[in-house]
Structure 1
Amino acid sequence: MDKISILACAMVASTLSFAQENPNMRVKRPVTTNKVYQLKKEVLTPEKLWELGRVSAEGLSADGKWLVYGVSKYTFGENKSEKNLYVIPVKGGEPVQFTQEEGGESVVQINKDGEIIYLFKGQLWSKPLGGGEAKQLTDIEGGLANVKLSPDGKQILFSRAVLIHPYHSKDKYSDLTKSDVYIYDDLDYRHWDTFNDGRFNHPFIATYDNGKVGEPLDILEGEPFYSPQAPFGGAEDFTWTPDGKAVLYVCKKRFGKKYASSTNTDIYRYDLASKVTTNITEGMNGYDTHPVYSPNGQQLAWLSMKTDGYEADKNDIIIFDKATTQRKNLTAHWDGTVNSYIWSKDGRKIYFTAPVRGAVQLFEVELPKNSARNTLSKITQISEGEFDIAGIVGEVDGGLIVTSTTMTRAAEVYRYDFKKKTLVAITKVNDDIFNHLAETKVEGRFTKASDGEELFSWVIYPPDFDPSKKYPTLLYCQGGPQSALTQTYSYRWNFQLMASQGYIVIMPNRRGMPGWGVKWNEDISKDWGGQPIRDYLSAIDDLAKEPYVDNERIGVVGASYGGYSVFMLAGVHEGRFKSFISHCGLFDMTSWYGTTEELFFANHDLGGPYWDKNNTKTYTDFNPITYIDKWNTPILIFQGGRDYRVPIGQGLAAFQAAQLKNIKSRLVYLPEENHWVLSGHNALVWQREFFGWLQETL
């Protein structure tokens, strides 16, 4: 049997297997018809997606010649991921596996002598860059997290959870050890996916000598504040001063209702000798995060948002100059928002990433020679292309080491060459899989929005796309609502996977997304159901004019604000769509305001509480529940049981309404998942239900 015949049999078998696992699925997609035998490559499947290694850049050697990176591999049978570290020459070569122990290692620092210090099972370990025996450095009860070693290596900064308030009955009533009750007198009673048990992450400092850790000192002793930030802060919230005499930490020193209603994190300096704490961002009212000293230690940079309560505000780079004691906003005059940054090796500029026109690119900002002068800093975009720069690892001669993705390639580590303006792959963890996948072409497309503005969308096409045929099409609605829709690679909302099942997918950069100017980004606030929804309709109406779009098979999918958009469109689409899928969508804005945890977000984007008459439009015209009388289209609803951002009542209420209206509908309840889907087995159920529903309804 020839290779093409073998491939045809394998693909048919794969398709039948997928159909057997999804008994309601109709096998009728272009990639599973009688043209299958012509495909010389595989199509991406949910199972294949979970075979990909997830690459993380861990650090560079001091001489810039070696990269340490991590790869997480998922094991289906055990339903868990295993991460190991690898070492590879920056200029290219074969990787060497650095760790093999079961667990998950992450690099803390790479010393000048080539020693790699890493965290493994909550303890510090070390091992030479060139290989050898691993040495356990610490054995601390309870383990370590978010570790930063002092410049001289004689002290250690780390975090651990400390019981401050006995919210949990077992802590409040020691004789009732089998009880499971939470008692609250204020807000911040739950966050993201966890109820507050009265324990707060605090920064600790201790002496460190050949693995011996002295008695830790709690910098925030007795205070009900989080550092690192909850729920996603990490080691980037800590840093040592260059002389090792003080530490900086990020903290939102608010409690209760004030904590739930504010984004005012500040950067604090704790002096080890005097034990005095100073707020170095006093008067800066939004998020202040990610403090990093310049290579010579004379300047401090951090990221800053201006407005308290606005989590998606313009993110600027601020520097403080020790010599002049002046603070300067380097990016204030620039019409964009910063994702992440690093200092150049010579300290004369800062490299940063930012979304721009549907992708995340590299920029540089030159530091003024005299920061006290009121001069504008020169900002230059230094990369361009249909890819995202997901992060910057460090600078090497003639370039930067970065991580990068596209919609059809998962993250790998690359060298960006300044002169050639090209990305050269260093890691190639997933090449073998991607090289055997059928191409899914991605193109940009501009549409006139209803108000005359230019609206950009990404469009991805199925393998072997034939413009003379008609294809089912999906409108993808992004969450956030101020999240950029760029050349990212997702392991759930994977556009390559959707296209590989035979769908055209359009992904509009509607109002509210960064990358198109600050105003475009801000225009969604207090207008959730207005122009952004009209942008979605404009984009799909324009694409639907193409002869290859089957107008009888157009669906809408999305999560979070995207799920809200699905619910809104279900009531206003006027027959455009034949199927809807919403994951963790907001269905009733009134009940959502009463149960979500980060009230600063709701107060800024909705205008405030439902009892304030100034916000009537938000809770009526822009409330999906207002249009339930017009619902008449099949809808699938995913809902996580531990989603406290968009709590369970939203999905249940939407499903119940659809059922009582006798609309074909399905609820997929994931009791142990939060706003996302993290378990591999659950994710595969999610994918199978997702595509099975589309097969049934499109």
Structure 2
Amino acid sequence: MSLLSVACLAGFLYYTIIPEGPQLLWFPESARETSISSEMTIRADKFTPEVLLAAPRRSSALPNSAGNLAVYSVSTYSFESHKKTTEIKVLDIATGQSTLITNDEKASEPNWLGEGNDLLWLKSGEKGSTPVVVGSSDEVGKNYIAGVVPAPISDVKLKVLDQDRVAIAVTGKARPNGDFYNPEDEPKKYTTGMLYDSLMVRHWDKYVTPNRNAIWHGILLKAKPHITESKGRYILRDLTNVLKGSRLESPIPPWGGQDNFDLSATSVGFVAKDPDLNPATNTKSNFYFVTIDDSPHGQTYSEPRKVELNGLEGASSAPAFSPSGNAVAFFQMKENGYESDKNRIIVASDLTKSSATLALLVSDDGKAVWDRSPSTVSWSNDERFLYLVAEENGLTKLFKLLIAVDPDNNEMPEALTESGSISDVRPLGANSSYLLLSGSSLIDNSIYSVLDPTNSAKAKVVSSNSKNGTFFGLSSKQVSDIWFQGAREQVHAWVMKPSNFSSAKRYPLAYVIHGGPQGAWTDSWSTRWNPAIFAEQGYVVITPNPTGSTGYGQDFTNAITEEWGGLPYEDLVKGFDYIKNELVYVDTDRAVALGASYGGYMMNWMQGHPLAKEFKALVCHDGIFSMVNQLSSDEQYFPNHDLGGPYFTKHRKTWEKWNPARFTGNWSTPMLVIHNELDYRLPISEGLAMFNVLQGKGIESRFLTFPDESHWVLKEENSLLWHTVVLNWINKFVGLPVYKDEREQGYEVQN
């Protein structure tokens, strides 16, 4: 088997479920080799872009109601066949063995169906349709189609109603009249013109059309005995658009999905932008719910009703019904127009009564007593606790919060994890207090673990996709962190060393600046900006989290407002000085800097300021060249907030103050510019302007563009070229070998 078709090996720690909860079982080496489900069969000698991009990518693991099995999907790309394979598998949590359910490349989104071991998944069908498939982990291969939806759908959620019925909710585009939209049913047009009367015109990578996201609800019904050919099988009834006629759109584009809605036996709850406000200049969204009246003749649906929240005018997100369906939790921001405001925790114990809606952890100053901004929320089976996922000091932790009836009881959330990044939390069975966690780290792209939330002991790994990095040739010994004094506060940074690191040697520095700017480098996996890729070339990689970063308190995040080239730049200067003076194994005379989005803005800002002179070369991916050109961006609320207000007001001076284009006279450092055609947030004219200046000044430079990519490079073959060009560029300036001849991969310079 080729290294390029590498597949991942499940982990070496296993559990058995007994009445007292999971117990860790240790297998001898010989037993491990026979009991492990092998998805990655070859250990990489060196972690390269090919290994990164060809490594299997697993979804979150979903446990069944008994808590003994978990279903997940895994996709793998082959650079030999130039194809992606998709599999749905079921993991036996007690033995660690995985069973292949289907390798249909068109299958996706597996879910447990009911209380047994039946499974439901979606399949891409002919002419844009979506068959809904039912199978079983007990009888692999005996699958059948429960129904066919006449359009593309996704984001399946299920709720058992009784032994014969399961409610289903999915998302899919709707036409202006509320019916399903299938792009393959579109009649031929004789013009390509698109006419707009208001913002927004285009969003991230697509032009906006009249077709909107919608949530569709229906019932999967078990066939009765008199229907002999379908006895015991599920049949999908017609789906109803619960947003029809409401002017509401959910999930919220462009990235909303399952996290934007939830399903109970009697309601669909969802978040949607306020329909009375323009989405290009406002972030305000609300939580709405639709009640479902279940009758022998079918379901009827109320009109969507909004939950009113006084004083919280920002974005809503992440609704989650309690297991009984009697209560719902969600997040609400305070400030309209600010997409990185703190998420406040809201619990509604009775959706029909506004007095039953409570904000948790409130404070007199309105900031909330817990200085973290959670991203996901879920409930304990006994409905006494909320489980919150939030960034904290470079980690994405799981927290437990007691739901206090008394609003003056501000018991703080308790951190349950202290390493890696948690991406998904599920109760391990319908009656268990244990949790099944999905996550990743800087050295492992998929980790499933079991946690007892009543015990502060470390979560136990059920399955490690790379055996804690071993199959990638990586080790936790490569990862450390530093803190240094920034412009105002201590600043945190991750450090990634080469796997063959020697304290007797000195290594060139790769200083990598994150985007956002309200974002952070965390102990998590990435297929786009993976520090280990650069470390394995021979760099010490340092990823700082300067002013504006998330997970270090809301004041630290907010401090970047009207300070884009100020406090963060000062932090980066002080960080570089710290590295030069304190990290003896780093050769700062051979340093390069790289950044994307806001990190790309910072490359341009550096170019005009002294810090750039410390670097041999820069890489700017989809960055900002001119702040004024942000007027052509899609989400106008973003620059309006961060720069104090619109350009055509008194805040114009702030826009001009932090404009990198003002300082092009100082540019001198060689730079690779990458900018993509479909990036409508930061239009390609930004990248072309940078390249024009560099070339016009005779500065060594290159320009890479992908006509079919947007803000990120997501297609595997494109990503391989991206990595090849980037590594060749920076290696050239620090004396490291060429990674790979670009012409060997069939790529040619265009002029």
What TM-score do the two structures reach when normalised by structure 2?
0.81
Pairwise CA distance, 1:697:
2.3
Residues 1:100 and 2:103 aligned together: yes
Q: CA deviation at 1:473?
A: 0.5
Q: Which residue of 1 aligns with 2:269?
A: 248
1:267 aligns with 2:297: no
Q: Structure 1 residues 214 and 294 mapped into 2: Cα distance closer, same or farther (>3 Å)? A: closer
The yes-or-no answer on 1:500 pairing with 2:536 is yes
Deviations 1:143-176 (A, max 9, x none): 43333345423654333322339xxxxx9xx997
Q: Which residue of structure 2 aligns with residue 463 of structure 1?
A: 499
TM-superposed CA distance for 1:138, in Å, is 0.8
Q: Which residue of 2 aligns with 1:409?
A: 444
Q: Which residue of 2 aligns with 1:320?
A: 348
> Which AA in structure 2 matches 1:253?
D
Asked if the contact 2:446/2:464 (under 8 Å) is kept, the reply is no
Alpha-carbon distance between aligned partners in 1 of 2:468 and 2:478, rounded to the nearest angstrom: 19
Change in 2 beyond 3 A, CA 1:253/1:518: closer
Asked if 1:377 corresponds to 2:411, the answer is yes
**Residue 712 of structure 2 aligns to a residue in which SS?**
coil
Residue in structure 2 matching 1:589, options 595, 603, 627 = 627
The residue aligned with 1:202 is 214
Structure-1 separation of matches of 2:76 and 2:496: 27
1:496 counterpart SS class:
helix
CA deviation vs aligned residue, 1:279-311 (integer Å, no higher than 9, x gap):
114544211122222223332111221111111
1:159 equivalenced with 2:171 (yes/no): yes
Superposition pairs for residues 425-574 of structure 1, below 5 Å? Answer: 425-431=461-467, 434-435=470-471, 437=473, 439=475, 441-451=478-488, 453-545=489-581, 546-574=583-611
Q: 1:187 Cα shift?
A: 1.0
Q: Give the direction of change, closer, same or farther, for the CA distance of 1:123–1:697 in structure 2 (3 Å limit).
A: same
The answer as to whether partners of 2:421 and 2:439 remain within 8 angstroms in 1 is yes
| Alignment match, 1:33 | none
Task: Report the equivalent of 1:6.
Answer: none
Instruction: Using the TM superposition, give the Cα deviation of residue 92 of structure 1 relative to its aligned residue in structure 2, in angstroms.
Output: 3.8
CA displacement 1:534-556 (0-9 Å, x = unmatched): 11111111101233222321111
In 2, the alpha carbon distance for the partners of 1:223 and 1:316 equals: 26
The corresponding residue for 1:193 is 205
For residues 224-276 of structure 1, what are the alpha-carbon distances to aligned partners after superposition, in whole Å with 9 as ceiling and x for unaligned?
5421111111133233343x2x3222211337x71111111112122344633
Structure 1 residue ranges, 4+ long, deviating more than 6 angstroms after superposition: none
Distance 2:193 2:307 in 1: 40
**1:612 matched residue in structure 2:** 649
What stretches of structure 1 of length at least 5 have no aligned partner? 1-9, 11-39, 166-170
User: Superposed, which structure 2 residues align to 1:118-197 within 5 Å?
Assistant: 118-121=121-124, 122-132=130-140, 133-149=142-158, 151-152=160-161, 153=165, 155-164=167-176, 177-197=189-209
Alignment correspondent of 1:27: none
Partner of 1:329: 359
Q: Which residue of structure 2 lines up, in the alignment, with residue 235 of structure 1?
A: 258
Structure 1 residue aligned with 2:668: 632
Unpaired stretches in structure 2, ≥5 consecutive residues: 4-42, 125-129, 178-182, 223-233, 293-299, 362-367, 735-751
Secondary structure of residue in 1 paired with 2:422: strand
CA shift in 2, pair 1:91/1:333, >3 Å: farther
CA separation of 1:446/1:43 partners in 2, compared to 1, >3 Å: closer, same or farther? same
What corresponds to 2:303 in structure 1? 276
Q: Is the contact between residue 123 and residue 144 of structure 1 (CA under 8 Å) also seen in structure 2?
A: no
Structure 1 residues 604 and 395, CA gap change in structure 2 (3 angstroms): farther
C-alpha change, 1:328 and 1:685, in structure 2 (3 Å) is same
Whole-Å Cα distance in 2 between the matches of residues 300 and 584 of structure 1?
39
Indicate the SS of the match to 2:270.
strand
Deviation at 1:120, TM superposition (A): 2.1
Task: Report what 1:603 is aligned to.
Answer: 640
Change (3 A) 1:548 1:454: same
- Structure 2 distance, partners of 1:600, 1:645, is 12
Name the CA distance, whole Å, in 1 between partners of 2:248 and 2:304: 14
RMSD between aligned residues: 2.5
How far apart, CA to CA, are the structure 2 residues paired with 1:271 and 1:446? Answer: 51
Note if contact 1:123-1:143 (Cα within 8 Å) is conserved in structure 2: no
Matched, 1:309 2:337: yes
Judged with a 3 Å threshold, the aligned counterparts in structure 2 of structure 1 residues 154 and 392 are, in CA distance, closer, same or farther, namely closer
By how many angstroms is 1:367 displaced?
A: 0.9
Task: Kindly tell me the number of residue pairs found equivalent between the two proteins.
Answer: 645
Give how far 1:524 is off: 1.1
**Alignment partner of 2:445: what SS?**
strand
What is the CA–CA distance in structure 1 between the aligned matches of 2:733 and 2:681, rounded to whole Å?
29
Instruction: State the 1:70 CA deviation.
Output: 1.6
For residues 241 and 96 of structure 2, the distance between their equivalents in structure 1, rounded to whole angstroms, comes to 45
8 A contact 2:61–2:438 mirrored in 1: no
Conservation of the 8 A alpha-carbon contact between 1:342 and 1:394: no
Amino acid aligned to 1:259: P
Kindly provide the CA deviation profile for residues 505-537 of structure 1, in whole angstroms up to 9, marking residues without a partner as x: 111121111221111111112211110111111
Q: SS of 2:608's equivalent?
A: helix
Q: Following TM superposition, by how much is the alpha carbon of 1:392 offset from its aligned partner in structure 2, in angstroms?
A: 1.5
Q: Deviations over 1:659-694 (max 9, x none)?
A: 111111111011100111111100000000000101
Q: In structure 1, what is the Cα distance between the partners aligned to 2:619 and 2:146?
A: 50
Q: Which residue, 665, 671, 678 being the options, matches 2:707?
A: 671
Q: Which moved more, 1:203-212 or 1:596-605?
A: 203-212
Q: Secondary structure at the match of 1:124?
A: strand
* Equivalence map 1:30-49=2 (5 Å): 42-49=45-52
Select the residue among 39, 52, 57 that pairs with 1:54: 57
Q: Distance in 2 between matches of 1:298 and 1:155?
A: 16
2:557 alignment partner, SS class:
helix
Residue 421 of structure 2 is aligned to residue 388 of structure 1: yes
Distance 1:143 1:398, change over 3 A: closer
Distance 1:314-1:263 versus aligned 2 partners, 3 A rule:
same
**Residues 317 and 79 of structure 1, relative CA distance in 2, 3 Å threshold:** farther
Asked whether the equivalents of residues 511 and 592 of structure 2 are also in contact (C-alpha less than 8 Å), the reply is yes
Relative to structure 1, the CA distance from residue 147 to residue 420 in structure 2 (aligned partners, 3 Å threshold; closer, same or farther) is: closer
